[in-house]
Amino acid sequence: MGEPALEVELRQADAIPLHVAFACEAGDVLAIFGPSGSGKTTILRSIAGLHQPPHGKVRVGGTVWSDTDAGIHVPPHQRAAGFVFQDYALFPHLTAIGNVAAAMSHRPRHERDVRARALLARVHLEEHAAKYPHQLSGGERQRVAIARALARDPAVLLLDEPFAAVDRRVRRRLQDEVDMLQRQTSTPLVLVTHDFEDVVRLATHLLLLDRGRQVAFGSLHEVASRPDLDFLREAAGLGSVLDARVIDADVRGGLATLAFDGGHLLVPRRGLAPGHTVRVRIPAREVVLASRAPGGLSLHNVLAGTVAAIHVGDGHDEAVVQVAIGPSFVLAEVTRDALGRLQLRPGCPVHVLVKSMSIEVRGAQNE
């Protein structure tokens, strides 16, 4: 394996403390999740060169952008970083196409108009090229900002709370568009958010940040299925995240069958069709454990597994049980009383029970 597409190490102890280290491969979507004031935006600004921490290294595609020990600091305008700011930061006196073209100083002038129109078409805004920012909706302004970031031919794409200013319906549509764009490029994407739905929908990797401290970093599936992350439990609620494929859709029964690494799940059909790939989240509070397979129940999902780990956090009356189902993991929150009654311990067999209506399904895409 070659060098990561993005390597970052930052340390500072001033007003916004930071102590993080992570790396991304080409095509990865790294979500940085944490509360306001935890240093998420400072990380993006450090990658883009808009902030210089006392100690830091940023390497993109094998090129060093920052290294405080070596005295290297490439200025922002020389970094191939596409930055989508939280407030979009569009030039109010320029049209949509003018905003996109303004990011192409690295290209010959005769190429900029054609390239800008192609990028607006890519985000489905070709008919709005002549409009000014005040004539566009919040979602449309966000798409112009994404097109402008792509206009820099970025080696890394940085998104700072890109969906914060739109309602839930527009948010989900924009998530779909960002996902589609990411599937078409190998550019690593770093997404800052305080909404865990953005993480579930888009991320391949997750960095948890609390007051500048790196709580956890790894693949989304790995981090989301850890039973010991009390920080995530409090911030967003625990829930396993799985990638799955629709293999059957029963119109009469209103259910779709999903195949994941470890088994099958039945979920409400809701427009799903065979061949769709989806992201699934199973909230830990919605999972019931049984020592043997039950019968005569209305729920459809009974999965055989093995207890992999058990975590009881300080001050909690509940326990988090991590269950291995094949190579995948599902979390369940149960009482400490249930641990004793079921005699749960690592290595023992157990059945996972999940209501179809409790399973969250996001991002149906055709394979």
What interhelical angle do 168-183 and 138-150 show, nearest 10?
20
Domain spans of the chain, in order of start: 6-229, 240-366
pLDDT tens per residue across all 367 residues of the chain: 467 899 999 999 877 789 999 999 999 999 999 988 899 999 999 999 999 999 999 999 889 999 999 999 999 999 999 999 888 789 999 999 999 999 998 888 888 999 999 999 988 899 999 999 999 998 899 889 999 999 988 999 999 988 877 778 888 888 888 888 888 888 999 999 988 999 999 999 999 999 899 999 999 999 999 999 999 999 999 999 999 999 999 888 899 999 999 999 999 999 899 999 999 999 999 999 999 888 888 888 999 999 999 999 777 788 999 999 999 999 999 999 999 999 999 999 999 999 999 999 998 776 6
DSSP three-state, residue 214: strand
| Rounded Cα–Cα distance for residues 265 and 286 (Å) | 14
One-letter amino acid of 5: A
Contact status, residue 144 vs residue 90, Cβ threshold 8 Å: yes
Distances (CA, A) of 124 to 75, 119, 158, 325: 32, 9, 20, 41
**Fold exhibited by the domain 6-229:** Rossmann fold (3.40.50)
240-366 has the same fold as 6-229: no
| Rounded Cα–Cα distance for residues 272 and 86 (Å) | 32
pLDDT of amino acid 81 = 94
CATH architecture of 240-366: Beta Barrel (2.40)
